[in-house]
Every structure is written in structure tokens, then in C-alpha cells.
Amino acid sequence: MFVGGFDIDSFVMLAALLLITGVTVTKFSSRLGMPSLILFILVGMIIGSDGLGIIYFDDAKQAQLVGIVALVIILFEGGSQTKWSVIRPVIWPSLSLATFGVLITSFIVGIAAKFVVDLTWLESLLLGAIVGSTDAAAVFASLKERNIKTKISATMEAESGTNDPMAVFLTLIFIELILIDQPNYWLLFGSFFWQMGIGLIIGLVFGKVASESINRINLDSSGLYPIFALSFALLTYSIASLSHASGFLAVYVAALIIGNSELTYRHSIFRFNEGFAWMAQILMFIILGLLAFPEQILAPEVIGNGLLLSAVLILAARPAAAFLSLMGMKYTGKEKLFLSWAGLRGAVPIVLATFAIVADVENGAMIFNIVFFIVLTSALIQGSSISYLANKLELSGPKKETPTHSLELISIGKANAEIIEFQTDEKTSIVGKKLQDIDFPDSVLVSAIVRDDQLITPYGETEIQEEDFLYILVSRKQKNKLRRMLKA
């Protein structure tokens, strides 16, 4: 638990300084080519008991709670930003990696752990299960900072968003096998299909309910819509978990549904989620850094065992999982090689490692320390070299450009209208037409056009061109009709 005699004012100041430090650290991480999670964790370790001694924290259960809530927020933000048209072509390869890939990785690392670490077979397999899955927080953060081809980035994203059920299932099954003399194997194996199936159904249902609710409710303040949306993410996770299904999978699926629906206050919701997800990520990794004691993590035995198992994971287990899981699918050798290297470990393995401590597994603390070291090694070595490898394998996509113009998109609640953004392309039916010749629905007004980063005031003779950004004022009743016309 937290110890340190802080009064309220000191605690508030410490929280502010940690957030400022975390935000500043992201700037240094991009310049150093190092994943930001490494620096967040280091901040936690530095201010912890073995560092400057500002905060003493050793409550694995509290860290687990913080980690789970933060992962829900991060998964919700990542899923809502993902386009279904991008994910759909890679959904089956991603699911193969998320199930068979995790299973293969877990058992190879588990078998290696038996010969490297002084653990029983079940404890070794538990260690393998904990590091078996890639991490959504690490993957989403790394993809935001790098230009990877759409097919590969979509596969990484979908895999990390859906592989938690297998990792959680394997972790819990080995903990139960360790602690229970005569476990019910049929019940244990059946629970995996229950977790996947019911988690998927709950995600679909709550995603649809959330989308409809956001569009139908008329709140007095636009700032309430992002909170309303996020509340559905937390509700989806809790309902799924209380049903003994996969809460993480349910949240990711619900986020996909919400993110690919037409939403009122869409941009406000997404911007809020992005900022909140960054805050959750900063706090989560700092808390996990506080939970780790450098004196234990950097002990010679942990370093030696951790390096050997990291080598097995990075050079043997993950490549075997990637190549076998994608066998017969339309991925080149270079793409499989990149996916092998880009299987980042992060918060999920550390949070799963706390399960062993909370369950009082005999060697739970040793497993946690080794897992923590493996995560640091994976993030540092793999995370910092993703861009370099993508370039070498010619898998880098086009440079991501952020528009230099800025126009606040708003919804006018009392007037029951909103301003929407639409970018034209060569397939848009209105390209080449003058505004006065376009048969827009009633109550529609083109308020502004941004062309080549220049704001154009529209009038009847203005001709629409490719790559124009149109900002259109429309009543909510006519919004769907307008979008159908624009996309015709």
C-alpha cells in the first residue's frame, strides 16, 4: 500500500508533477526512439522505495485494479479509432495469432522456464502463459508513433485487442492447477469458449446500445457525451466479467462498433478518449513501476534468467507462433518476420503476474520479477527497433500527415443540428460540380471548405475538388441522408 505521510495538498502536487513528467517523457521517448512505457515505468521505479523513496507501494491488488481500469480505457480508445474496413481483411489471421499464437508462445516459454528457472512444471507453464500475449497499450502506442503498412499495423492492432482471453484463460487455469488438488478439467477448458463467445456477444450488444444511446439522448452539455461513451466501456467490461466472460474482448468489440458508427459529438468523444487514454497509460505504468523493486528486478539471478527467457521469447517462441499461426494465409515471409519481432509485451503480462501474487502462488514474487524484466527487455529491444526493421523489410507505409488546419467540429444541441467533416476523393459524386448545382437535402449548408491548407469561403460558383475538406451544417434528421448522398 501507499505509505509516506502525505497531506492532501502534497498528494495533489505529487500527482500533478507525475502527470507533467509523464507527458514530457513522451517527447523524449519519440526522440530517443524508445517506447514511452519504458520511461513511465522508470519514473515509477525512481520515485519508489528503492529509488528516491518518495512513495512506498507494494499492494499487488491495488496495482491490478489500476491496471485493469487503465487497460479498459486504452482498449476502448484504440478500438474506437480502428476502422472496420481496415480490420476486416485481417480478422482471421489476427484471431489465429490471438489464440494459437498465444498458446504456442506460452508453452515454448513455459518449457524453457522449467530448465532455466528453479520452478515446478506448473509454475513454469504459468510464467509462459503470463508472457504469452502481446499488449494492447504497447502496440497502440507504438503504432501511433510509426508508419507501418496498413495490413501489418491492422494485424498487430487486432491481435493485441483480442488475445487477452487466451492469456487470461491460461494464467487462471495454471493458477488453479497449482492451488487445487483435483480440478475439473472439462469446466476449465469450457470456460475459454465461454469467455470468447459471451465476451463477443456482450461487446456486440453493448456497442450497438451505446451507439444508439449516444445518438438519441440530448444532453445539455457537449462535455457529457465523452463521459457517457466511456461509461459504456466500463459497463461493458463489468457485465462481461461478472458473466465470467472476457471483459477486455467485450470492450474492444464494443469500441469497434461505436467507432464505426455515425455518432453525435464524434470528434469530441474521440479527442477526450485519446487524452484520457494517455493519462491512464501514464498512471498505469508509473504504478506498475512503483510495484517493482529495482533491487529485486536487477538481482543477478533475475537478470540472468530474464535475459535467457527473453531470448527464447523473442527469437524462438514468438517467431514459431507467428509463422505457424499464419501458415497458409496471405502473408509474405517478410511480413511474418516483422510480426514475429513486433510482438510487444507490456502492461498485460505485468498485470497478469499480479494474479500469481494475489493468489499466493508459492513462487509468485519470483515469477513477477522475471516477467517484469522480460517486459522491459521486450519493450526496449523490440519496441525501439520496430521502425528500423519496417524500413529494412520495406514494410513502412506512407508518412502520416497531420492537417495543419484546425476547425472545431460541433454539435448544436438546442438547435438539433451539427457541423460534420467530409473529405472528398476521386470517387465522390459531387467532385467537379459547383455548389449551386448540387442537390443537397433540406437544412444543409456548406459552411467552409479547406483546400491545400487554405480556408475557402464557399458560394454558389465554388467548384468542389478532390481532397477538399467540407464542413457542413446539417440537421440531425438529414445527417444520414446527406452522408449517403456524399458517399454515393
108-155 pLDDT tens trace? 999 999 999 989 999 999 999 999 988 877 787 777 656 788 889 889
DSSP class of residue 56 equals: B
Is the pLDDT reported for residue 412 higher than 70?
no
Is the pLDDT reported for residue 415 higher than 60?
no
d(CA 205, CA 209): 6
> Residue holding cell 522480460?
374
d(CA 258, CA 279): 21
Q: What is the mean pLDDT of the segment spanning 249-253? A: 93
Percent of all residues in the chain with a pLDDT value above 70, rounded to a whole number: 91
191-200 pLDDT tens trace? 778 888 999 9
332-362 pLDDT tens trace? 999 999 999 988 888 889 999 999 999 888 8
Q: Which residues are CB-contacts of 7 (< 8 A; sequence separation ≥ 6)?
A: none
Pair 163, 99: CB distance under 8 Å: yes
Report residue 78's pLDDT band, with 50, 70 and 90 as the boundaries.
confident
Q: What is the mean pLDDT of the segment spanning 220-226? A: 82
447-461 pLDDT tens trace? 888 888 788 888 888
417 alpha carbon, distance to own chain's centre = 32
Q: Which residues are CB-contacts of 18 (< 8 A; sequence separation ≥ 6)?
A: 43, 47, 282, 283, 286
d(CA 152, CA 160): 12
Report residue 238's pLDDT band, with 50, 70 and 90 as the boundaries.
very high
* Global pTM value: 0.80
Pair 478, 442: CB distance under 8 Å: yes
Q: What is the mean pLDDT of the segment spanning 383-397? A: 84
